[in-house]
Structures are given as C-alpha cells and as structure tokens.
C-alpha cells in the first residue's frame, strides 16, 4: 500500500480501498473487480496457446533444467498474451512488468514450509532467474517497461539477508527497494503524483450500498 500512500492526495479510490478492506478482504475487493473485469473477459477469449503444454505433449519425464525452461517459456507466452491484450484494450494505460526477486536457497532450507526430509529447497534462484528472464524478454518484445528485481537486488552485497527474511519474503528494506524501483519506473514514463489524473469516482460519490455502479459510469 506504499504506492497508495504516496498518491493518497489524488487517488481517492485508493483511500476508499484502504478504508473498506484494502488488505485483500471486504468491500475493497470490488474496486479490483471493477477495474479488471474487462481484462478477464478479453483474455478468456484467447486461444488455447495461452495454456499450452510448452512442449510436454509426449508426457515423458524431463530433467530439472528442461522443466524450468518449459515452465518459464509457458510463463513468458502467457505474460506476452496478457500484456498485448492490455495494451490493445487500453492503449493509453501504462503496463509495467515486475520480475520475481531472487531466492536465497539457504534461507529456504532454514525456514521450510513443511517438513523437508530431502534437505532440498522447494524453490531455487535458478528457477526464479528463468522466470525473471522470461518477464524481461516479454517486456522487450512488447515495448513496455520492466522492473528487474532479480538482477537489481543481486547487485548489492549480502542481498540474501538484507532483502529476504526467510529466503523468499521481502524484508522492510527489500520492500523499500521494490517501492523505489516501481515509483522510478512510473515517473520515467510520465506517471507521477504531480500529473496523476483522477479517473475514478471520488470517495464521496461512491454508494456504499452499491459501489460497483459508480465505477460503471
């Protein structure tokens, strides 16, 4: 919600989102619903290539490296379809892609989700890098900006413990890096607090009994 806090002066809908359950529950979900319903309906009409097997049609077993390549390729294809749909459907909308951050495998071994008799991390930095690479590639093909967290964070010493509290989830400093990178990227594309238009209803205009109708005007 740091972005919301930065733009609270002009983003009235974001204030409403926080007040009505912006943490992911309650009426605040209606804001997201109103904004993405068109995207979902358009993407649902895409052909089956979005959900293709990525080359596993024979059902045979694959090695770890090949599996990572297949999954990241499918991820990249899906990301490209969604990005192109968004740009085509809303040509004036700024689409910003964000890669996953790196993974500290040692940290994942120290804080496993469940009992880990094999002693292997359930996620690897190599796999995260493959997803990040696919995300960067999609951004390049579609001509849209990207925040490469995977590369950016690993440029700093002791990133494993400075930015990740359990090898996966961000620390306060890690969240600060994400915030700064996103805000910088948006500003470079001409989207900032100073020029951000109000294109959604003001909080005073939203009917608490039927909030969605005010987003459909």
CATH code, 147: 3.40.50.1110
- In contact, 71 and 54? CB cutoff 8 Å: yes
Q: Is residue 30 part of a domain?
A: no
Answer yes or no: is 175 within a domain.
yes
Task: Give the pLDDT confidence score for residue 69 in this predicted structure.
Answer: 53
**Residue 1 within a domain:** no
- Of 187, 184, 122, 109, nearest in space to 149 by CA: 184
Is residue 106, in this structure, part of any structural domain at all? yes
Asked if residue 81 belongs to a domain, the reply is no
Burial of 150 by CB count in 10 Å (0-12 exposed, 13-18 middle, 19+ buried)? Answer: buried
The confidence score (pLDDT) of residue 64 equals 45
Q: Which domain holds residue 136?
A: 95-190
The ranges of the chain with pLDDT < 70 are: 1-76, 78, 197-198, 217
Beta bridge partners of 147: 98
Give me the number of domains the chain comprises: 1
pTM of the model: 0.64
- The residues that bridge with 97 in the sheet, in sequence order, are 146
Position 43 in a domain? no
The CA distance from 76 to 94, in Å, is 19
CA-to-CA distance for 20 and 29, rounded, in angstroms? 9
Q: What is the 3-state secondary structure (H, E, C) of the chain?
A: CHHHHHCCCCCHHHHHHHHCCCCCCHHHHHHHHHHHHHHHHHHCCCCHHHHCCCCCCCCCCCCHHHHHHHHHHHHHHHHHHHHHHHHHHCCCCCCCEECCCCCCHHHHHHCCCCCCCCCCCCCCHHHHHHHHHHHHHHHHHHCCCEECHHHHHCCCCCHHHHCECCCCCECHHHHHHHHHHHHHHHHHCCCCCCCCCCCCCCHHHCCCCCHHHHHCC
pLDDT of residue 152: 97
Assess if residue 158 is contained within a domain: yes
What is the rounded distance in angstroms from the CA atom of residue 128 to the CA atom of residue 105?
11
Q: Is residue 100 part of a domain?
A: yes
* Predicted pLDDT of residue 47: 44
């Amino acid at each position: 919600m740091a972005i919301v806090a930065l733009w609270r002066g002009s983003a009235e809908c974001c204030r409403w989102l926080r007040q009505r359950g912006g943490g992911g529950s309650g009426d605040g979900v209606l804001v997201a619903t109103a904004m993405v319903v068109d995207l979902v309906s358009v993407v649902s009409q895409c052909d089956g290539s979005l959900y293709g097997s990525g080359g596993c049609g024979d059902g045979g077993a694959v090695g770890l490296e090949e599996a990572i390549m297949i999954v990241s390729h499918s991820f990249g294809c899906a990301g490209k379809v969604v990005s192109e749909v968004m740009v085509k459907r809303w040509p004036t909308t700024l689409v910003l892609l964000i890669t996953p951050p790196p993974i500290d495998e040692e940290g994942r071994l120290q804080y496993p989700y469940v009992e880990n008799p094999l002693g292997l991390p359930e996620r690897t930095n190599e796999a995260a890098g493959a997803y990040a690479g696919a995300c960067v590639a999609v951004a390049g093909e579609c001509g849209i900006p990207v925040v490469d967290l995977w590369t950016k964070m690993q440029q700093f010493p002791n990133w494993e413990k400075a930015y990740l509290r359990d090898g996966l989830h961000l620390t306060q400093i890690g969240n600060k890096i994400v915030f700064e990178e996103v805000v910088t990227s948006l500003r470079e594309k001409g989207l900032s607090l100073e020029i951000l238009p109000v294109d959604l209803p003001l909080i005073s205009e939203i009917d608490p009994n039927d909030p969605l109708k005010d987003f459909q005007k």
